[in-house]
Amino acid sequence: MATSQSTKEAIWLRKLLGDVGCVQVDALTIMCDNQGCIALAKNPTHHSRTKHIDVQHHFIREKLESGEICLRYCPTEDMVADVLTKALAKERHHRLAKAMGLQEGTTRKVGVLEFR
């Protein structure tokens, strides 16, 4: 399940940043377009059809309760990560790239490197 993998990656990045001196106190917000996943992670009820994903949901639920992560719903149309993982129509690609902070024709200097 994607949310479980995202949670693992977020926790790893949090620990890595902590090791280099950037300690984050607040919960990491994970955007999810699956409302069923969010409901299962927040509600501890057990359903017979969810046995195969029990371990992953317990992991996510544990991280929610400890305050390490926060799950928030994001409609599929507004999922910014899609610009990096899917072939999109031109209009949606430009909208999501702009939302991510990527802009056509601008120059940004980062350190001594220049990106176009």
pLDDT reported for residue 20 = 93
Contact 53, 59 (CB under 8 A): no
pLDDT reported for residue 47 = 60
Residue ranges making up the domain that contains 22: 1-74
Residue 22 sits in the same domain as residue 49: yes
pLDDT reported for residue 84 = 86
Residue 66 sits in the same domain as residue 95: no
pTM equals 0.68
Residue 16 sits in the same domain as residue 41: yes
pLDDT reported for residue 105 = 47
Residue 50 sits in the same domain as residue 26: yes
Per-residue pLDDT of the chain (116 residues), as tens digits, is 788 888 899 899 999 999 999 888 888 899 888 888 888 788 766 666 666 666 666 788 888 889 899 999 989 888 888 888 889 999 998 888 888 888 664 555 555 555 45
pLDDT reported for residue 58 = 77
Residue 91 sits in the same domain as residue 40: no
Residue 16 sits in the same domain as residue 54: yes
Residue 26 is which amino acid? D
Residue 70 sits in the same domain as residue 80: no
Residue 18 sits in the same domain as residue 64: yes
Residue 70 sits in the same domain as residue 92: no
* 79-62-53 Cα angle (round to 5): 70
pLDDT reported for residue 51 = 62
